[in-house]
Amino acid sequence: MKVTLPDGSVKEVPTGSTFLDLAKSIGPGLAKAAVAAKLDGELVDLQASIPKDGRVVFIRGQDPEGADVIRHSAEHVLATAVVRLFAGAQVTMGPADHSKGFYYDFDVGRPFTPEDLEKIDAEMKKVIAEDVPFVRREVTKPEAGKIFAEMGQRFKPEILAWIPGETVTLYQDANFIDLCKGPHVPSAGKIGAFKLTGAAGAYWRGDATKDPLQRIRGVAFANKKELESYEKQMELAKARDHRKLGRELGLVNFSPLAPASPFFLPKGAKVYNLMVDYVRSLYDKYGYQEVITPQIFSAELFKTSGHYENYAENMYFAEAGHEAAGGEEAGAFGPGEAPTVEYAVKPMNCPGHCALYQMDLHSFRDLPWRVADFGRLHRAEGDATHGLMRVRTFCQDDAHIFCAEDQMAAEMASFVDLVDEVYGDFGLGDVKIRLATRPEKRMGADEQWERAETDLATVLKEKGRAFDLAPGEGAFYGPKLEFHVKDALDRSWQLGTLQVDFNLPERFGLEYVGSDSARHRPIMLHRAILGSLERFFGVYLEHTGGIFPTWLAPEQARVIPVTDRALAHAEKIRAALEERGVRATTDHSSDKLGAKIREAQLAKLPFMLIVGDKEVEKGGVSIRLQDGTDLGYLDLPAALARVAEDTEMPSHKRRRDTQKQGPVV
């Protein structure tokens, strides 16, 4: 059999050779480092026989896919330890995605205690030290059922029933056997380091009416160095948790009276509104018109869009009598006789924008028509809410572009420029782009999909932007671009999206009159840059640790008088700053200077302007920065210019600088 290696070389291997045999023949270092392999792109066990000719790539523990394999294997070691320690333990399932960690749900008749976790941790270490092998075998469903019956595992028959086909794969390490597709590391010793991160209650299949279970979570890595790095990152993440910082900095809070609905306090509202104002400041440049649309619509709108049928569980509904609906014939009904009308609180803006488009007959000369909307949205998110990251009420920097098919490429290019400008101003430099293409089940002609996908790819290539293809991951109604941003904690967040939509224009019967005087269907582009402003607020708060760029800080400068003798001069400086558009305050407290400076630093203020007897006498001020840098004494005009230079919104500053330069001749 012949296999092609990543360097293009071809190696002949004997029939029946395993991938581990191949790795050993290449070198002992590779055999030691590899945890799995890929054959023509499909992830496989190292101990599996090579079934055919193909391209082979070995996966190391430090690779993202290798890390997933290690975590998946650690999950099985966790179950092995629980089965050893708790007689009659029932093992259910773990997650399909191991990119963030692992877990297993168990039924041991009671919650796990901290002491239990310590014993489980120690038993896992024993299994790893024993370097027990992971053995894969394929059996028929009846054979698997018999095995699990002998083990007394009562959840497995139900899981077996979900799996299509007549055969299933099992994995065994030590005395534990489970249904699993794999792959796994060859033996437990390949798990370099792990940590159990906690235990909590769960329910079988996530249903509160079914068996209560206990979930143990953990993380695993190829070596201890990676675990130590993870632990440091978690400590930093804990310190930067947006819920903690939001309270400490007086930005945002929550109340059980409005679950999963944030209260933005004055400082937080200032930051939030500055974000809106900043995005809005770019709309003229990029040709957007802002609209304001209703919060509540007749449910008929969402029946037309398809959301009533497919998204109703995430929506809020209300009913009102016909009089409340304002119908012309409302007066024809007596008290309590009027029929009710069903209404829905909008969970997204796109159906309303389609209704807006329908209000007028559009010509090809009107296109592209770009409409932006900061309307408040509401979604019934259930229990899967988390601080600002997932809320029930939010706003998006949302816009929709209605365009002709031959205008798509130019609109896509303009959007990429807009995203680059915005992320640059927020200091978000590590951006990765994914192009999600047509799924098997889709609407729209193949020619439309081909053009949209080609336009998206061509635009990115022409701009020199690298991107990853995500075949088959587009929505059923069109391909999309996703913009993923890394934060200061090395976490990736999807923020921006550009979604091509062939569906809604069809469902709403949208049309425009072309240059040929015939009616044509427009293409709809959904686009967001920051996405949910609530979520972005949380992401950015953690990214910056609360130290916002000066233009976004709710309080940009604080004037700190050393004594009451300096108070009048301090107030004069504050007033002069405010005249220049700087958000400034004066510290009127009786605290000593050191305490005042510490308080300003804890508040993450960009500028501290110190006023003592020397500053009063000379008419200037001394400046300290948030990071502790001391700029020393400056005369007042220089100090005001220095502060004002950093406090202006970037888009406003660029516009002003362009106006100073004058028109290009």
Q: In the chain, what are the domain boundaries?
A: 2-60, 65-230, 263-323+350-544, 550-651
Distance CA 395, CA 381 (A): 15
Would the CA dihedral through 533, 374, 350, 307 be positive or negative?
Answer: positive
Phi, psi angle pair for 394, to nearest 5°: -160, 170
Phi, psi angle pair for 542, to nearest 5°: -70, -35
Confidence of residue 335 (pLDDT cuts 50, 70, 90): low
pLDDT tens-place string over residues 476-501: 888 999 999 999 988 899 999 999 99
Tokens of 455: 């336009």
Which helix or strand (DSSP H or E) is residue 179 part of?
A: strand 176-179
pLDDT tens-place string over residues 527-545: 999 999 999 999 999 999 9
Among residues 421, 396, 401, which one has the least CA distance to residue 411?
401
Integer angstrom CA distances of residue 290 from 73, 191, 401: 52, 54, 12
pLDDT tens-place string over residues 144-167: 999 999 999 999 999 999 899 999
* First vs last C-alpha separation in the chain: 69
Which is the catalytic residue, given 71, 90, 98, 350?
350
Among residues 505, 515, 481, which one has the least CA distance to residue 411?
481
Which is the catalytic residue, given 397, 398, 501, 587?
398
Concerning whether 98 is annotated as a catalytic residue, the answer is: no
CATH class label, 65-230 = alpha beta
CB atoms within 10 A of CB 390: 17
Q: Which residue has the higher pLDDT, 30 or 442?
A: 30
Among residues 407, 375, 359, which one has the least CA distance to residue 533?
375
Statement: residue 327 has pLDDT above 90: no
Distance CA 603, CA 439 (A): 49
77, 171 in Cβ contact below 8 A? Answer: no
pLDDT tens-place string over residues 341-375: 899 999 999 999 999 999 999 999 999 999 999 99
Domain 550-651, second-level architecture: 3-Layer(aba) Sandwich (3.40)
CB atoms within 10 A of CB 289: 11
Distance CA 51, CA 558 (A): 71
Concerning whether 526 is annotated as a catalytic residue, the answer is: yes
606, 627 in Cβ contact below 8 A? Answer: no
The three-state secondary structure class of 50 is coil
Domain 2-60, second-level architecture: Roll (3.10)
Among residues 654, 636, 652, 650, which one has the least CA distance to residue 577?
636
Concerning whether 461 is annotated as a catalytic residue, the answer is: no
| Share of residues in the chain with pLDDT > 90 (%) | 79
Tokens of 305: 């869009």
Phi, psi angle pair for 267, to nearest 5°: -70, -40
What confidence score (pLDDT) does residue 654 get?
A: 84
User: What are the strands of the beta sheet with 193-203, ordered from one edge?
Assistant: 90-91, 102-107, 212-221, 193-203
Residue reference for tokens 């010793």: 189
Phi, psi angle pair for 3, to nearest 5°: -120, 145
What confidence score (pLDDT) does residue 482 get?
A: 94
Which is the catalytic residue, given 526, 535, 596, 604?
526
pLDDT tens-place string over residues 6-42: 988 998 889 889 999 999 999 999 999 999 999 998 9
- Give Dmax over CA atoms of the chain in angstroms: 93
Q: At what angle do helices 408-425 and 266-281 cross, to 10 degrees?
A: 140
Distance CA 162, CA 140 (A): 14
CB atoms within 10 A of CB 155: 19
Residue reference for tokens 């900095």: 249
Regarding the domain delimited by 263-323+350-544, which CATH topology (the fold level of the hierarchy) does it fall under?
BirA Bifunctional Protein; domain 2 (3.30.930)
The DSSP annotation for 210-243 comes to S-EEEEEEEEEESSHHHHHHHHHHHHHHHHT-HH
Tokens of 512: 């425009």
Concerning whether 90 is annotated as a catalytic residue, the answer is: no
Is pTM beyond 0.95? Reply is no
Tokens of 37: 């392999």
pLDDT tens-place string over residues 562-613: 999 999 999 999 999 999 999 999 999 999 999 999 999 999 999 999 999 9
> What average pLDDT does the chain have?
92
Q: Within 13 A of 522's CA, how many CA atoms are on the CB side?
A: 28
Which is the catalytic residue, given 396, 448, 499, 556?
396
Which is the catalytic residue, given 38, 156, 480, 543?
480
Look at 202-211, 354-363, 515-524 and tell me which has the smallest mean pLDDT: 202-211
What confidence score (pLDDT) does residue 652 get?
A: 84
Task: Decide whether 263-323+350-544 matches 550-651 in CATH topology.
Answer: no
Phi, psi angle pair for 59, to nearest 5°: -105, 125
Statement: residue 332 has pLDDT above 60: no
388, 252 in Cβ contact below 8 A? Answer: yes
The three-state secondary structure class of 562 is coil
Which is the catalytic residue, given 38, 156, 400, 583?
400
Concerning whether 569 is annotated as a catalytic residue, the answer is: no
Amino acid at 211: D
Distance CA 469, CA 454 (A): 12
Q: Which region holds residue 662: left if phi is over 0, alpha if psi is between -120 and 50, else beta?
A: left
The three-state secondary structure class of 432 is strand
Find all residues with CB under 8 Å of 68, minimum gap 6, and list them.
98, 99
Work out whether strand 2-4 and strand 10-12 pair parallel, antiparallel, or are unpaired.
antiparallel
Mean of pLDDT values over 128-144: 94
DSSP assignment letter at 439: -
The DSSP annotation for 401-446 comes to EEE-GGGHHHHHHHHHHHHHHHHHHTT---EEEEEE---SS--S-H
Distance CA 178, CA 157 (A): 12
Integer angstrom CA distances of residue 457 from 1, 429, 443, 503: 37, 21, 20, 21
Work out whether strand 480-486 and strand 492-501 pair parallel, antiparallel, or are unpaired.
antiparallel
Find all residues with CB under 8 Å of 402, minimum gap 6, and list them.
357, 362, 367, 368, 369, 371, 505, 510, 512, 522, 523, 524, 525
What confidence score (pLDDT) does residue 665 get?
A: 47
Calculate the CA dihedral of residues 407, 412, 415, 421 and round it to 10 degrees. -120
Distance CA 541, CA 564 (A): 35
Whether the link from the prior residue into 505 is cis, omega within 30° of 0, is no
Distance CA 126, CA 172 (A): 16
435, 481 in Cβ contact below 8 A? Answer: yes
The three-state secondary structure class of 560 is strand
Phi, psi angle pair for 249, to nearest 5°: -95, 5
Tokens of 52: 């055919």
The DSSP annotation for 195-209 comes to EEEEEEEEEGGG-TT
Would the CA dihedral through 95, 96, 101, 102 be positive or negative?
Answer: positive
